[in-house]
Amino acid sequence: METRRRNAWLLRRAGFGGSASELDLPTNELFERLVDPDRQGVPAAIDPWDDALLAAAGGINGSQPTPEARRHAADGWLAHMIATPRPLEERLTWIWHDHFATSIDKVKSPVLMVSHLRTIQRHAMGSFPALVKAMTIDPAMLIWLDGRTSTAASPNENYGRELLELFTVGLGAHTERDVQAAARALTGWRLQPPANEAVLQRRLHDDAPQVLLGRIGVHDVDTVVDAVCSAPGCAPFVTRSLAGHLLGPAAAADEGFIARLAADFRRGGLEIRPLVRALLAAGLERRDTAVVEAPVPWLVRAQRMTSAQLGVTVRMAGLTACGQVPLRPPDVGGWPVHTTWLSSSSVVARASLAATVAAAAPPDGAARDAARRGDFDGLAAALGRADGFGTATLAALRSLPEEVGRLALALTAPDQVVI
């Protein structure tokens, strides 16, 4: 039972759930397959986007993208999360998308937003400084935080401020002068048509040496990234952020725990994979606390475990009602967390979406079949629970006469939403 409990935790926090058979794997084997899929021979994930459809969609420079292309950009990623053989990599991509929150509502271009996601995917488990550099000159980010209009004569401070406040060191670890220094060092970037590639126009760039977080001589992207990632506050800030996502708020608030992991993270050159490995290992030793799963990862897990197939319009409408759609964070701070998703409107919307998932689940699939037979232990296992449902959930399930209702309730019970 302990192996099944540990595996169930890993499959929920380090991915998007798993099958009943995965609960019985040796935990070390499952752990390594998730954390280091290349070494375990896990096949590469297949890119889910149709570039031709995205390119025909319009976007920046005054045109509006077609609704079809906007849906494809977001729903293609959802389909990828559901199907990927490398769920931890995609979980980290989702976490970094929230960390470096960027929205298609301002960027407009599905092409640039998909390029943004592909960049995050490449760096999600790699070097944090490389990820920061890639985000700094990412075309979607240059639009989102107005970097493409920032010049030596008129520096725009939006990206410099968020780079420090939200992306690397956090509130209280920098000053207004640091924001101004970063902004000046990052001036002059433009998007060059027709591909809208990021290029530095030196006549618009302020190359005068700046002082950023105590680092002298900062004047361009490389020196900005080096300064912020070398700052004492960077490793603890990033460690705390990932701990909150993977382990929950209590671990993120444990200063001693964060300091120990951050020291290793810094000594390792801010490589993300070893930090994620250490966090998940701590979670297996019960350093975690329960978290309320947000609608997107919850839906991905529900579809992975039930094999339900949803059309793009249905899926996007359901998530819109729930208040969370990929590529559309509410602001640069990303989405709300934890108990926010227990509001009455969110709970009702999730229940409606769960009913849609349950109805779409194949009748001969493990989850729906168990629901039909009243095999609630089997249903729990099909949904990735190692120790069955709680007493209240079981009582509610027994009160329902038919399989779709049972499965829908199981998907939205506290056992499946508070993980």
As a three-state string, the secondary structure of the chain is CHHHHHHHHHHHHCCCCCCHHHHHCCHHHHHHHHHCCCCCCCCCCCCCCCHHHHHCCCCCCCCCCCHHHHHHHHHHHHHHHHHCCCHHHHHHHHHHHHHCCCCHHHHCCHHHHHHHHHHHHHHCCCEHHHHHHHHHCCHHHHHHCCHHHCCCCCCCCHHHHHHHHHHHCCCCCCCHHHHHHHHHHCCCEEEECCCCEEEECHHHCCCCCEEECCEEEECCHHHHHHHHHHCCCHHHHHHHHHHHHHCCHHHHHCHHHHHHHHHHHHHCCCEHHHHHHHHHHHHHCCCCCCCECCHHHHHHHHHHHHCCCCCHHHHHHHHHHHCCCCCCCCCCCCCCCHHHHHCHHHHHHHHHHHHHHHHHCCCCCHHHHHHHHCCHHHHHHHCCCCCCCCHHHHHHHHCCCCHHHHHHHHHHCHHHHEC
Q: Measured between alpha carbons, how far is 374 from 357 in angstroms, rounded to an integer?
A: 19
Q: Cα angle at 124 between 216 and 318, to 5 degrees?
A: 125
- At residue 58, the pLDDT reads 55
Q: For residue 194, is the peptide bond before it cis, meaning its omega torsion is within 30 degrees of 0? A: yes
pLDDT above 60 for 60: no
Q: List pLDDT tens digits, range 397-407.
A: 999 999 999 99
Q: List pLDDT tens digits, range 95-146.
A: 999 999 999 999 999 999 999 999 999 999 999 999 999 999 999 999 999 9
Tokens for 407?
């499965």
- At residue 67, the pLDDT reads 85
Tell me which of 387 and 303 has the higher pLDDT.
Answer: 303
- At residue 21, the pLDDT reads 85
- At residue 79, the pLDDT reads 95
Residue with tokens 């227990």: 342
pLDDT above 50 for 64: yes
For residue 221, CA distances in Å to 67, 138, 228, 302, 356 come to: 35, 12, 11, 41, 47
Contact by Cβ (8 Å): 128, 100:
no
The mean pLDDT of 287-304, rounded to a whole number, is 95
Q: Measured between alpha carbons, how far is 325 from 323 in angstroms, rounded to an integer?
A: 7
- At residue 340, the pLDDT reads 87
Tell me which of 339 and 86 has the higher pLDDT.
Answer: 86
Tokens for 76?
């293609």
Q: List pLDDT tens digits, range 234-246.
A: 999 999 999 999 9
Q: List pLDDT tens digits, range 360-381.
A: 999 999 999 999 999 999 999 9
pLDDT band, residue 62 (cuts 50/70/90): very low
pLDDT band, residue 57 (cuts 50/70/90): low
Q: Cα angle at 305 between 240 and 363, to 5 degrees?
A: 160
Q: What is the pTM of this model?
A: 0.96
- At residue 415, the pLDDT reads 87
Contact by Cβ (8 Å): 43, 33:
no
Contact by Cβ (8 Å): 257, 282:
yes
- At residue 295, the pLDDT reads 97
pLDDT band, residue 262 (cuts 50/70/90): very high
Tell me which of 149 and 61 has the higher pLDDT.
Answer: 149
Lowest mean pLDDT: which of 8-22, 149-163, 218-232, 308-322?
8-22
The mean pLDDT of 390-412, rounded to a whole number, is 96
- At residue 63, the pLDDT reads 58
- At residue 68, the pLDDT reads 87
- The dihedral over CA atoms of 333, 338, 342, 343, expressed in degrees to the nearest 10, equals -30
Cα 298 from chain centroid? 12
